[in-house]
A and B are shown apart, each in its own frame.
Chain A
Amino acid sequence: MAQQPHMKTKTKSAQELRSEVASLLPQRVAGYKVFTLGELLLQRDEYFVHITWPVKDGHHSHTISADGFLRALMRDVAWGFFYGIVNFDHVFGTRNLYGKVEFFCGRYNDAYHENGLSYVEVFESPVAMKRIKEILADWVNEGFDPFAAPVETGSAFGEKNGSNEKAIDRYRVPTRRMPGIPGDSPLRSDATGHPVNRAFADVGQDDPRIEAEPGFEGELHAFSLFKYLSRSDVTWNPSVTSVCKASLFCPTTEEYILPIIHGNDRVEWFVQLSDEINWEIRDRETGRPRARVVMKPGDVAAMPADIRHQGFARKRSMLLVWENATPDLPKRYERGELKPWPVDF
């Protein structure tokens, strides 16, 4: 039977103990600041990030490669904790409660959770966001871009070496209707600092031909989605390109490995626009493998509401992620009103 995760209990003695422990901790390791977030202790060194959390009879800890941790943390910052669960790996991650956010250790790992070693702490989202931005600002070295494909950026490793504020100050581009419409999000071009990515050098850069009748100039709207995507300077970072009520097309370009394992709180859909992505599908709650999905151009697949998924792309590819932003969806799935898969046949 699953154990209840160890939850933070705010008592005076616990706070005193925390202060006492904090005073004994080093301020920096390998030049990097040591951070706390509630009861969580986060340290990085030359290669790794170490996370420590309280359990019933003491503490447990977990180690993640620094580059992977920073790539995942970057997505949490840029996406505002995204939809559902952002697993950094099989132990650590965040769950968006929309207004609040849960940080967890082992909660969605069968072994930790079943043995009473999981930990969950809930924060007001702005409080947690402030702290993880501080972590990112201190732990990202000069020359390392956590949004870039590995072959397009410098190393995350080594002792602290400067910072890269420009790289970590990028967010999902908000679009109200469609990019390029006056007053809406901009298109990408050389002039906006978005040259064609090396992996999309062969993608056509032609635009739609718009022939408006007199009086309707500026009322017909079209753009080249593939040109727009070929000029993305980031990987695994969806941006909205069309809005039909709560239906959002969120295409993105993917290369190497999705830096998070995304745990769904609703059904998502993928349409493979170019090249190939392989997806590892695991159970959202336990992490047990469920399927592997191989997607090629033109393929469409649902990602059910009760899974977690991670993608692998050998060559930079274009993926259309389709989201439903209906506000109460997670609760409806939790209450069992909706099946975790989208259609029966």
Chain B
Amino acid sequence: MPEFHTAFGSLEKFEKGHVEIIDDDVKHYVFSNVFEIASKAPPYEKTAVAKNLEYVIEAIRAEGTSGWMAASHDEFVVVMDGEVAVELVKLDLPEAVAPPGKDGTVAVKGEPGGKRMGRITLRRGHQALLPAGAAYRYVAARPSVMIQQTIAGELTRERWGEICLKPQ
């Protein structure tokens, strides 16, 4: 039986693909690489790498401890490289932190009010639910990379011109 090697990317080793244009504009493909973005981003900046109307996927460099965050809807995170712990708190007053109808991740001021739910430790390829009604923060001992499925919000940064392939 042949031996296969599954290639994953990492902060230390990634190779970006490309677009060969025949009759189109390369900008229509909004092509970027999450490891490249995370290699240059400050910790926990939420850079949109994909957008479909109000919905986004964000690339995030995890390093150290993030601030507390929450959302009025479920969010999901997938670790692409490294190890990240997610600490969760069940909010006593979730609507005061992330009101219904307010989309996207919001920053929680100070310590979240509520009971500690626990901690999830994620490594490469692991996915966690960031449930509505809970506050969460990330802790990473070394630089790691995550993607987050959410809705564009006040913490989302859109800088497509910096991250995407452009016409030569």
Q: Tell me the smallest distance from the CB of B11 to a CB of chain A, in Å.
A: 10
Cβ contact within 8 Å between B55 and A292: no
Contact of B124 among A213, A221, A226, A291 (CB under 8 A): A226
Of chain A, the residue at the smallest CB distance from B145 is: A298
Interface presence of A267 (CB below 8 A): yes
Bound Cα distance A340, B150 (Å):
22
CB of B127 within 8 A of CB of A200, answer: no
Interface-forming stretch among A10-18, A91-99, A124-132, A270-278? Answer: A270-278
With both beta carbons as reference points, the residue of chain A lying nearest to B162 in the complex is identified as A345
On whether A225 and B33 interact (CB within 8 A), knowing A244-B150, A291-B21, the answer reads: no
Q: Which of B81-116 contact A (CB under 8 A)?
A: 86, 88, 90, 115-116
Least CB distance from A117 to B in Å reads 24
A208 within 8 A of B: yes
- Write the chain B residue with the least CB distance to A296: B17
B76 touches A242 (CB 8 A): yes
Q: Is A269's CB within 8 Å of the partner chain B?
A: yes
Neighbour of A223 across the interface among B6, B23, B30, B126, CB < 8 A = B126
B128 contact set on A, CB distance < 8 A: 208, 220-222
Contacts of B151 in A (CB 8 A): 244-245, 247
Question: How far does the Cβ of B131 sit from chain A's closest Cβ, in whole Å?
Answer: 8
The tally of residues in A whose CB lies under 8 Å from a CB in B reads 76
As a 0/1 sequence over residues 261 to 293 of chain A, the CB contacts with chain B under 8 angstroms (1 = contact) are 000001101011111100001000000111111
Give the chain A neighbours of B27 by CB distance below 8 A. 341, 344-345
The smallest C-beta distance from A103 to any residue of chain B, in angstroms, reads 28
Contact B14 A297 (CB under 8 A): yes
Query: A215-B115, A293-B31, A296-B16 are contacts. A342–B4 as well, Cβ < 8 Å?
Result: no
**A242 touches which of B3, B35, B126, B149 (Cβ 8 Å):** B149
Assuming A247-B55, A269-B57, A293-B17, is B29 touching A301 (CB within 8 A)?
yes
| Contact A302-B150, Cβ < 8 Å, known A210-B120, A274-B8, A276-B17 | no
In the complex with contacts A290-B24, A296-B15, A241-B127 CB distance below 8 A: yes
CB-defined contacts of B125 to chain A, threshold 8 Å:
203-204, 224-227, 273
Q: How many A-B residue pairs have CB under 8 A?
A: 233
Q: Which of the residues A244, A302, A304, A316 comes within 8 Å of B74, measured between beta carbons?
A: A244
Q: Is B141 an interface residue (CB 8 A)?
A: no
Contact A220 B120 (CB under 8 A): yes
Closest chain B residue, CB of each to CB of A212:
B118
Asked if A216 and B30 sit within 8 Å, CB to CB, the answer is: no
Task: Decide: B30 and A302 in contact? CB cutoff 8 A.
Answer: yes
Q: Give which listed residue, B4, B31, B78, B118, contacts A300 with CB less than 8 A.
A: B31
Query: Given contacts A245-B73, A290-B24, A297-B7, is CB(A271)–CB(B118) below 8 Å?
Result: no
Find B4's partner among A199, A242, A297, A324 (CB 8 Å cutoff).
Answer: A199
A136 at the interface (CB under 8 A from B): no
| Nearest CB of B to A184, in Å | 10
Q: Which residues of A are found within 8 Å of B69, using beta-carbon distances? A: none
Report the Cα distance A300→B52, complex, angstroms: 13
Closest to A292 in B: B20
- B130-167 vs A, CB cutoff 8 Å, 1 = contact: the mask equals 01000000000000010101110000001011001000
B51 to chain A, nearest CB (A): 5
In the bound assembly, the distance between CA atoms of A274 and B80 in angstroms comes to 10
Tell me the bound Cα distance from A170 to B125 in angstroms: 25
Contacts of A291 in B (CB 8 A): 19-24, 26, 29
What's the least CB distance linking B120 to chain A, in Å?
Answer: 5
